[in-house]
C-alpha cells in the first residue's frame, strides 16, 4: 500500500485536491444560495417596513428566521409533484435540469483564491483552471435559455409560453451585450483565463492604485452589471415572471421541479456577484497584499505567513461576493419593473451602442499609449 502511494503520489494528491475544492467551494456556494432565499425576504421586508420571516422555530428558537430555508426545503420535498395532462412530459422534466446544471457548472472556473501549499504540493484555489475560462462562462451561460423556454413550451400553458417567449427574447438580447461589455477587459489584460485576469489586477497603476477592472473599465462595469441583471431575469428586468400579470415560464411546476428553478435563480445571483468581483474588483486580491505579506507603496511592509495570506485572500473574495449579493437584492426591491418594450429598447438602443463605444474608446486609448 505504501509503495502504491509513493508511485502514484502526484495523481492521488491531484485527485484529493480536486475533490476537496469541489466539496468546499460548491458546498459553500449551495449553502450560501440557500441563505439567499432568506436574505431576499429579509431585504424585501426591510424595504417595505415589515418584520419578514421569523416563525420557523426549533426548540422554540427562531434565530431571526434562520430555519426558514430548511422549512422551505422540507415543504418542497413533500409537495405533490404535479405534471399537467397535456404537457410534454420528457421535456417538462428536463427543463429544470437545463436551468440548474449550467449555473452550477459555471462555478468551476471561478477562482476563490490564489493558491495554497499542501505538503509542498501547490493547489490552485479554483476547481477547473481553463485558459479560456471567460469564454466558457459566456458559452455555458447561454444554455440556461433552454431551461426557460422548454419549461414554458412543454407546459402547454399559454401564460407559461408567453413567459418563455419573453425569456427567450430577453436572454438572447442581453447575452450579446454581456459579452461585448467584457471585450475591453480582454484588450487591457490580454487573457481570458480568469485566474490570470485576477492576478493581472494585482498590479499597481501609477505606483499606488490597484489595476482592478473597475479602475480600468468603470463604464464597462456599469454596462456589465445592467446586462447581467437582465440576463438573470431579476428585477427591474423580471418581465419573464411578471407575478402581477400571472405570467411565468414555471407556472405549472411544483415540488422539487419548482425548487430547481428557484434554486437556479438564486445561484445565478451568487454567480453574478462572483463574476462582478472577479472581473472588476480584483477577485481575491487585497490591495498591496502579496505572497510574502503586505508591501505598501511608501516602502513599508508587513510579512505574513503563507496560510494567513491565503485566508485573507479567500476572505476578501467572500466579502466582495456578499456585498454584491446584497446590492443585487437591494436593486430588486428598489426599482420598479420595466415594460417589455422599454426592456428591449434599453438593450438594443442604449446598452449595445454604449458597449460598442466603450470598445472603440478602449482601443483608441491603448493605441495612443502604444499598447496595441
pLDDT tens digit string along 197-230?
A: 999 998 888 778 888 999 999 999 999 999 999 8
Q: What is the pLDDT of residue 24?
A: 74
Question: Which of 190, 191, 217, 213 has its CA nearest to residue 202?
Answer: 213
Q: What is the pLDDT of residue 364?
A: 92
Helices marked H in the chain = 2-7, 9-21, 27-47, 68-78, 89-106, 133-141, 144-154, 158-181, 183-189, 194-200, 213-216, 218-231, 255-280, 306-332, 340-345, 352-368
What gap in Å lies between CA 97 and CA 283, rounded to an integer? 29
DSSP state of 58: B
Q: What is the pLDDT of residue 243?
A: 67
Residue in this structure with the C-alpha cell 419573464, named with its chain if needed: 240
Residue numbers in the chain where pLDDT is lower than 70? 1-18, 242-246, 372
**Domain residue spans of the chain:** 82-368
Q: How many Cα atoms within 13 Å fall on the side-chain side of residue 46? A: 11
Q: What is the pLDDT of residue 217?
A: 92
DSSP state of 336: P
Q: What are phi and psi of 173, to 5 degrees?
A: -65, -50
Amino acid at each position: 500500500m505504501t509503495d502504491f502511494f509513493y508511485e502514484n503520489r502526484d495523481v492521488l494528491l491531484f485527485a484529493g485536491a480536486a475533490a476537496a475544492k469541489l466539496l468546499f467551494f460548491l458546498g459553500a456556494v449551495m449553502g450560501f444560495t440557500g441563505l439567499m432565499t432568506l436574505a431576499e425576504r429579509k431585504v424585501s421586508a426591510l424595504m417595505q417596513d415589515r418584520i419578514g420571516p421569523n416563525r420557523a422555530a426549533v426548540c422554540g428558537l427562531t434565530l431571526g428566521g434562520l430555519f426558514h430555508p430548511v422549512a422551505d426545503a422540507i415543504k418542497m420535498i413533500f409537495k405533490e409533484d404535479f405534471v399537467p395532462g397535456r404537457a410534454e412530459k420528457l421535456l417538462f422534466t428536463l427543463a429544470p435540469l437545463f436551468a440548474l446544471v449550467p449555473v452550477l457548472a459555471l462555478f468551476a472556473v471561478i477562482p476563490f483564491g490564489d493558491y495554497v501549499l499542501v505538503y509542498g504540493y501547490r493547489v490552485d484555489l479554483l476547481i477547473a483552471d481553463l485558459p479560456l475560462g471567460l469564454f466558457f462562462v459566456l458559452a455555458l451561460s447561454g444554455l440556461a435559455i433552454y431551461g426557460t423556454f422548454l419549461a414554458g413550451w412543454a407546459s402547454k400553458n399559454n401564460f407559461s409560453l408567453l413567459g418563455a417567449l419573453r425569456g427567450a427574447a430577453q436572454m438572447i438580447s442581453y447575452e450579446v451585450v454581456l459579452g461585448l461589455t467584457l471585450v475591453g477587459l480582454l484588450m487591457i489584460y490580454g487573457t481570458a483565463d480568469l485566474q490570470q485576469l485576477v492576478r493581472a489586477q494585482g498590479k499597481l497603476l501609477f505606483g499606488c492604485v490597484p489595476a482592478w477592472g473597475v479602475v480600468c473599465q468603470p463604464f464597462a462595469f456599469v454596462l456589465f452589471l445592467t446586462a447581467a441583471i437582465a440576463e438573470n431575469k431579476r428585477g427591474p428586468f423580471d418581465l419573464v415572471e411578471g407575478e402581477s400579470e400571472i405570467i411565468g415560464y414555471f407556472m405549472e411546476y411544483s415540488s422539487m421541479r419548482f425548487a430547481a428553478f428557484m434554486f437556479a435563480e438564486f445561484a445565478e445571483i451568487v454567480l453574478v456577484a462572483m463574476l462582478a468581483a472577479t472581473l472588476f474588483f480584483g477577485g481575491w486580491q487585497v490591495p498591496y497584499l502579496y505572497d510574502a505579506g503586505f508591501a505598501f507603496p511608501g516602502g513599508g511592509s508587513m510579512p505574513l505567513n503563507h496560510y494567513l495570506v491565503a485566508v485573507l485572500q479567500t476572505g476578501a473574495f467572500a466579502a466582495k461576493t456578499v456585498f454584491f449579493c446584497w446590492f443585487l437584492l437591494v436593486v430588486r426591491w428598489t426599482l420598479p419593473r420595466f415594460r417589455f418594450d422599454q426592456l428591449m429598447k434599453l438593450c438594443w438602443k442604449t446598452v449595445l451602442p454604449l458597449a460598442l463605444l466603450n470598445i472603440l474608446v478602449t482601443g483608441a486609448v491603448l493605441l495612443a499609449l502604444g499598447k496595441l
